Amino acid sequence: IANIAVDPDRQGAGLGGALLDAVLQEAASRGAHTLFLEVRESNTPARGLYRSRGFEEIGRRRRYYSAPVEDALVMRRVSDA
């Protein structure tokens, strides 16, 4: 997954979850069983969203992001099918 973004004024309304669910459904329809993403370590709401959809933290990319410099957490989701 490259990017999922919601306008800050609309965050908390379930749009991010709906977007992620659509991506997961499309990936499954194309036969994808494993998905990976990176998320800023400080992005607690996104990390919670991803965990709620079955993603697990499996690694860290040190100093992955700039402005500000921050680690990325690598997350993976493996489907049952």
Task: Give the active site residues.
Answer: 38, 50
Which residues touch 4 (CB under 8 Å, ≥6 apart)? 16, 19, 20, 23
Which residues touch 54 (CB under 8 Å, ≥6 apart)? 77, 78, 79
